[in-house]
Amino acid sequence: MGERNAMLDLNQLASEINEQVVTWRRYLHENPELSFQEEKTSQFIYDTLLSFGNLDVTRPTKTSVMARLIGSKPGKTIAVRADMDALAITEENVSPFASKNPGVMHACGHDGHTAMLLGTAKILSGLHDQINGEVRFLFQHAEEIYPGGAEEMVSAGVMDGVDLVIGTHLWASLEVGKVGVVYGPMMAAPDTFKITVKGRGGHAALPHQTVDSIAIGAQIVTNLQHIVSRTTDPLDNLVVSVTQFVAGTADNVIPGSIWLGGTVRSFDQTLRESIPVKMERMVKGITEAHEAEYEFEYQYGYRPVINDHEVTRVIEETVLEVFGEEALDLMKPNMGGEDFSAYQQKAPGAFFYVGAGNVDKGIIYPHHHARFDIDETALENGVKTFLHSIFKFFG
């Protein structure tokens, strides 16, 4: 009976504060800031946290915030993370709280992540005498742009002494009311590449006098597909996508050089390290065969998000107990990237999804779309999951 009463109390607290959480989300949505530029956003978070009381609030980096809640008795230290940066997208939604910053939009749900963690911090700050241990609230800048804010925060010491870490992402392709849980590999390492082909330009009517960089580049694009289809075990998870091909200035000119770029996504470190070797070997062979030169650039991005089994199990149990079996979605990994993985290098951790899509309300657009939105009902679900999980981890 005691456990049930505690569950009802936490749910009631989450419901009571939900209107405020929605208000915070709408304020953040209306005032988005790009990665590494979140000065007003971080100041708003800092001031809001100070108003709660019982929190030690600091600025680990210029545009991030950390709040520490020290419980009445010693115990585990649990970190909870939310990101706060927006994207360089012009919002097409028409609403009272649409972005006021031209060309900048919260098109990935980070406004909701921050609002949910603020709500969690407010509730727990009033329950500090019931906490045996420490809760560390991490409000992170710059998730969207490599090298990312997580690595900077870890370097600043936010994970020192942390026993486990959790985080969440509002997920547009998951129906509101659902919570997505993934065991083991969850999100991939997002690496990038740029290939420059240097041929010899000339008149398009006299191609024999040129070294056609466009034709060579097209062969490179085609052959890069063989890395996945013919040089990698079909059971391995790998994506190689060319997303940019920049060439030419006029209809009658064969350009002297072109460049192409894209992304590589993987989970396995050995496979990950083999890809640039295979790519450059391919590029070298093709360009040499056509008497061209090349430049090859490859940048390793975030590490893959690999969820700890035991931490994930607690999240799953929390979902079942709070929302019921119909809410749990045991999801497959996806090839998106997330710098939450930086925290997982310091402590066991789990990342989970909170469903935020709603076809009936027209909330159907994907992340990074100019009309992306969330069903704000999801915010209360996120707060409840955070609250119950934290107490469950404390035992």
Reported as a single tens digit per residue, the pLDDT across 314-347 is 999 999 999 999 999 999 999 999 999 999 999 9
pLDDT at 1 over 60: no
Interior/surface letters 323-339, b for 16+ CB within 10 angstroms, e for the rest: beeebbbebebbbebbb
Helix (H, G, I), strand (E, B) or coil at 139: strand
* Region 81-87 average pLDDT: 98
Does residue 373 carry a catalytic annotation? no
- At 237 the pLDDT is 96
Decide if 388 contacts 123 (C-beta within 8 A). no
Q: How many distinct structural domains can be found in the chain?
A: 2
Same structural domain for residues 174 and 193? Answer: no
What confidence category does residue 2 fall into, taking pLDDT thresholds of 50, 70 and 90? low
Decide if 75 contacts 95 (C-beta within 8 A). no
- The kind and range of the H/E element at 142 are none
Same structural domain for residues 165 and 75? Answer: yes
The residue behind tokens 């959480």 is 21
Domain of 171 in residue numbering reads as 2-187+304-394
Does residue 143 carry a catalytic annotation? yes
A 10 A CB-CB count for 369 gives 17
- Which one of the listed residues 38, 85, 134, 308 is annotated catalytic? 85
Assign residue 197 the CATH number of its domain: 3.30.70.360
Interior/surface letters 297-318, b for 16+ CB within 10 angstroms, e for the rest: eeeebbbbbbbbeebbebbbeb
Same structural domain for residues 177 and 194? Answer: no
Helix (H, G, I), strand (E, B) or coil at 185: strand
Same structural domain for residues 27 and 87? Answer: yes
Question: Which amino acid type is present at position 133?
Answer: G
What confidence category does residue 395 fall into, taking pLDDT thresholds of 50, 70 and 90? confident
- Which one of the listed residues 33, 38, 111, 143 is annotated catalytic? 143
Helix (H, G, I), strand (E, B) or coil at 366: coil
Question: Rounded to whole angstroms, how far apart are CA atoms 127 and 21?
Answer: 18
The residue behind tokens 């659902």 is 178
Decide if 149 contacts 35 (C-beta within 8 A). yes
Same structural domain for residues 213 and 199? Answer: yes
Given 271, 299, 327, the domain boundary residue is: 299
pTM for the model: 0.94
| Backbone phi, psi, residue 144, to 5° | -80, -20
Helix (H, G, I), strand (E, B) or coil at 394: helix
Of 176, 92, 27, 35, the residue nearest 372 (C-alpha): 92
Assign residue 352 the CATH number of its domain: 3.40.630.10
